[in-house]
Amino acid sequence: MGEKHEESNQTMENLNVLQSTQAVIREALDKLGYPESVYELMKEPLRMLTVRIPVRMDDESVKIFTGFRAQHNDAVGPTKGGIRFHPDVTEDEVKALSIWMSLKSGIVDLPYGGGKGGIICDPREMSFRELERLSRGYVRAVSQIVGPSKDIPAPDVFTNSQIMAWMMDEYSRIKEFDSPGFITGKPLVLGGSHGRETATAKGVTICIREAAKKKGIELKGARVIIQGFGNAGSFLAKFMHDAGANVIGISDAYAALYDPNGLDIEYLLDRRDSFGTVTKLFKNTITNAELLESECDILVPAAIENQITAKNAHQIKADIIVEAANGPTTNEATKILTERGVLIVPDVLASAGGVTVSYFEWVQNNQGYYWSEEEVERKLEDILVKSFENVYQTAKSRKIDMRLAAYMVGVRKAAEASRFRGWV
Ligand code: GLU
């Protein structure tokens, strides 16, 4: 009986990230009083390019990869957002991710619209040179629609500063001028910014600190679980550990580690591979699903979409959930958790530190004048504290959850800019 009930619950819930994003966009625009035409404009990207990329593999065979680039809305300015390399990338996912980038830019008030790219591939099974050929092939395929004042890519899941370097080099060769501002998340020697690598985790840390204050939870000694040990999750584990919190659980794509007495974060950071895999070194592991339901004060999903759903929302023990990943909690789960009094700091706010420092990187590239790490950190701190407060107060005054509040704050700028341009 119980099992059946659970199953029907799961099948009823819509896990399509594009459709669930559209549902919240509609609600946000309705609350802001915009007409239907604005929703019609905002519900899909303005442009979506699908490309096929032939890559010569090391064994001389040729493999054809499929890639995407979505540009959600460029009324405010050029579109901006990362490129994801992952076997599960889909067209709808890339579209939703581009909408989230518009929201992030709106929330932290950057002069950008949202964009996103993705390639269906598994970089864990590709060699260094195969990855280089794929990265360069992708840039050649999308080069007509991207550019420093059109659409500026960046890293995302399983892409890093080396991939950004190849992409910048390929773009600069095609255009025949050095274009560091074409892409962000580059190595420092190629015009990268101090603080970009740790920016997403820094932003999440600021949101955790602010959320803990609101909930009256002392960060020192707080029990923290982080799902995912990639760029966001691993640096976050370090920052939480440094802040005196007790990191009791982490995971990678394969399994999770949980110890109520606290994990040895230094050791885990030292032993993780470049994809964030570390649990293979341990015998005593639990599953990702078990980790999410484990006892803790603060839960940070920092991996992939649809991790907290109607199926497990009732079992979550945390008082605060701060979303470092894009789209980890479904709309249904958000409702259930909010009713239970759990404070959810949504992805479009909590993970906006990355794009914020990407913006700083782009500004520095455009100026040809570079800032110190302290300057970057101070500016990031100012922006995120202000943005958190803005979303929190919007939620409070409207008596809505922070996700809907963040969507309202985030979509307003693109909607207004589209109206002034006479598009709607
Ligand atoms: N991929 C990151 C995100 O989802 C960063 C995007 C950027 O830096 O442009 O926010």
Three-class SS string for the chain? CHHHHHHHHHHHCCCCHHHHHHHHHHHHHHHHCCCHHHHHHHCCCCEEEEEEEEEECCCCCEEEEEEEEEECCCCCCCEECCEEEECCCCHHHHHHHHHHHHHHHHHCCCCCEEEEEEEECCHHHCCHHHHHHHHHHHHHHHCCCCECCCEECCECCCCCHHHHHHHHHHHHHHHCCCCHHHCCCCCHHHCCCCCCCCHHHHHHHHHHHHHHHHHCCCCCCCEEEEECCCHHHHHHHHHHHHCCCEEEEEECCCCEEECCCCCCHHHHHHHCCCCCCCHHHCCCCECHHHHHCCCCCEEEECCCCCCECCCCHHHCCCCEEECCCCCCECHHHHHHHHHCCCEEECHHHHCCHHHHHHHHHHHHHHHCCCCCHHHHHHHHHHHHHHHHHHHHHHHHHHCCCHHHHHHHHHHHHHHHHHHHCCCC
Q: What are phi and psi of 331, to 5 degrees?
A: -65, -40
What is the average pLDDT across 344-361? 98
Residue (of 322, 316, 314, 248) closest to 286 by Cα position? 248
CA 382 → CA 28, 43, 100, 141, 401, distances in Å?
A: 26, 31, 22, 38, 23
What is the average pLDDT across 270-296? 97
What is the average pLDDT across 125-141? 98
The reported pLDDT for the residue numbered 6 is 47
If you measure from the C-alpha of residue 144 to the centroid of ligand 1, how many angstroms do you get, rounded to a whole number?
21
The chain-wide mean pLDDT, for the chain, equals: 96
Q: Return the best residue to mutate from 193, 355, 365, 384 for the ligand 1 pocket (most ligand atoms within 8 A of CB).
A: 355
Residue (of 44, 53, 57) closest to 83 by Cα position? 53
pTM (two decimals): 0.96
Q: Return the best residue to mutate from 85, 101, 204, 347 for the ligand 1 pocket (most ligand atoms within 8 A of CB).
A: 101
The reported pLDDT for the residue numbered 295 is 97
**Fold of the domain spanning 44-179:** Rossmann fold (3.40.50)
Q: For residue 206, is pLDDT > 80?
A: yes
Q: CB of 257 within 8 A of CB of 285?
A: yes
The reported pLDDT for the residue numbered 11 is 55
Give the number of the atom of ligand 1 that is nearest the alpha carbon of residue 196: 8
The reported pLDDT for the residue numbered 5 is 46
The reported pLDDT for the residue numbered 12 is 77
What is the average pLDDT across 52-69? 98
| Active site members | 116
If you measure from the C-alpha of residue 354 to the centroid of ligand 1, how many angstroms do you get, rounded to a whole number?
5
Q: For residue 306, is pLDDT > 90?
A: yes
If you measure from the C-alpha of residue 81 to the centroid of ligand 1, how many angstroms do you get, rounded to a whole number?
5
Number of Cα atoms under 13 Å in the Cβ half of residue 257: 22
Q: CB of 206 within 8 A of CB of 385?
A: yes
Amino acid at 168: M
Residue (of 227, 209, 226) closest to 218 by Cα position? 209
Tokens representing 139? 């840039």
Q: For residue 369, is pLDDT > 70?
A: yes
Ligand 1 pocket residues where CB is under 6 Å? 80-82, 104, 154, 156, 184, 326, 351, 354-355, 358
CATH class of domain segment(s) 199-350: alpha beta
User: Which residue, judged by its Cα, is nearest atom 8 of ligand 1?
Assistant: 355
Q: CB of 239 within 8 A of CB of 231?
A: no
The whole-angstrom separation of Cα 20 and Cα 13 is 10
Give the number of the atom of ligand 1 that is nearest the alpha carbon of residue 156: 1
Q: Using 50, 70 and 90 to split pLDDT, how confident is the model at 376?
A: very high
Q: Using 50, 70 and 90 to split pLDDT, how confident is the model at 362?
A: very high
Residue entry with tokens 């782009």 = 362
Q: For residue 1, is pLDDT > 90?
A: no
Residue (of 18, 125, 118) closest to 65 by Cα position? 118
Q: Which residues contact 61 (CB under 8 A, 6 or more apart)?
A: none
If you measure from the C-alpha of residue 151 to the centroid of ligand 1, how many angstroms do you get, rounded to a whole number?
12
Give the number of the atom of ligand 1 that is nearest the alpha carbon of residue 326: 4
Q: Return the best residue to mutate from 159, 358, 361, 376 for the ligand 1 pocket (most ligand atoms within 8 A of CB).
A: 358
What is the average pLDDT across 130-135? 98
The reported pLDDT for the residue numbered 277 is 96
Residue (of 237, 231, 235, 232) closest to 257 by Cα position? 237
Q: For residue 9, is pLDDT > 90?
A: no
Residue (of 197, 204, 152) closest to 351 by Cα position? 204
If you measure from the C-alpha of residue 345 to the centroid of ligand 1, how many angstroms do you get, rounded to a whole number?
17
Does 199-350 match 44-179 at the fold level? yes
The reported pLDDT for the residue numbered 7 is 47
Domain-wise residue ranges, the chain: 44-179, 199-350
